[in-house]
Amino acid sequence: MGLDITWAVDWVRRSAQVVSDHRIELITLDREIGDGDHGENMDRGFQAVLPKLDDLHAGSTPGDVLKLVATTLISTVGGAAGPLYGTAYLKAAVAAGDSVSLDAEAIAGILTAARDGIVLRGKAEPGDKTMVDAWTPAVDAATAAAADGADALGALQAAASAAWEGAAATEPLVARKGRASYLGERSAGHRDPGAESSALLLQAAADAAAASAGA
């Protein structure tokens, strides 16, 4: 079963909820190796998206929802996370195109586009201790799952699971991009907050897909 507009809207609502629930945790992670604003900024951004969901017209597509998230995050989040997540959602929206229903292959495609957008803007590579370290394994897992015949739900669950492993794997890394890089060796031993928020958002996507499948 493909994922449609209902899934996309539910993903956004769940994202806003999970970011709000983990606001303090993200602030704490960021304070340890950055400047302590990540949870606050992400919460502000997703709370700003919520009322805009009501403006979606009949016949809107998942791509329309992703574009709405992109423009809202770019104009409300600030910091590095605003342009990075904004670009991710924008590239994902372009990849989703006019499709009304996304299958596993399409899901892998939008995740790939999102990851590529983050890399393009932030110029980080895997192992730099950034959100790319959650996104890249997620993209690989979703692509592999789609190739193995998983449905869209399966692809997202594989992506979320890999994102969590990727976020956890940032802990021993020494940061080479972003504000944590100023710490050098002292950045090791802390999880990257951007990787953590990426895993939270991908988990929300999988949870929304599971809810759609159950409905």
Least distance from another protein to the Cβ atom of residue 177, Å: 6
Does 176 contact another protein by CB under 8 A? yes
For position 121 contacting another protein by CB under 8 A, the verdict is yes
Q: What does the chain come to in residues?
A: 215
Which residues, including other chains, have CB under 8 Å from residue 76's CB and lie 6 or more apart? Answer: 44, 45, 48, 82
Does 126 sit near another protein (CB under 8 A)?
Answer: no
Cα 47 from Cα 73, distance rounded (Å): 10
* 20 scored as a contact of another protein (CB under 8 A): no
Neighbours of 92 (CB within 10 A): 26
Hunting for tokens 């929802």 — which residue is that?
65
Cα angle, residue 170 at apex, residues 163 and 110 outer, rounded to 5° = 30
Helix axes 104-122, 132-147, angle to 10 degrees: 160
- Select from 34-42, 53-61, 98-106, 160-168 the region that touches another protein (CB under 8 A): 34-42
Residue 166 makes contact with another protein by CB under 8 A:
no
10 Å CB burial of residue 214 (0-12, 13-18, 19+) is exposed
Q: Does 122 bind another protein (CB under 8 A)?
A: yes
Contact with another protein (CB under 8 A) among 17, 20, 101, 181: 181
* Between 18 and 80, CB nearer to another protein: 80
Q: Minimum Å distance from CB 202 to another protein?
A: 22
Residue 35 or residue 148: which is nearer to another protein going by CB? 35
Contact between 102 and another protein by CB under 8 A: the answer reads no
> Interface with another protein by CB under 8 A: which range of 28-36, 90-98, 104-112, 163-171?
28-36
Helix (H, G, I), strand (E, B) or coil at 21: helix
87 contacts: CB under 8 Å, gap ≥ 6: 70, 74, 117, 118, 120, 121
When binding is defined by CB under 8 A, the residue of 84, 119, 134, 139 that contacts another protein is 84
Residues in contact with another protein by the rule CB under 8 A: 27, 31, 34-37, 40-41, 44, 74-84, 121-122, 174, 176-179, 181-184, 186
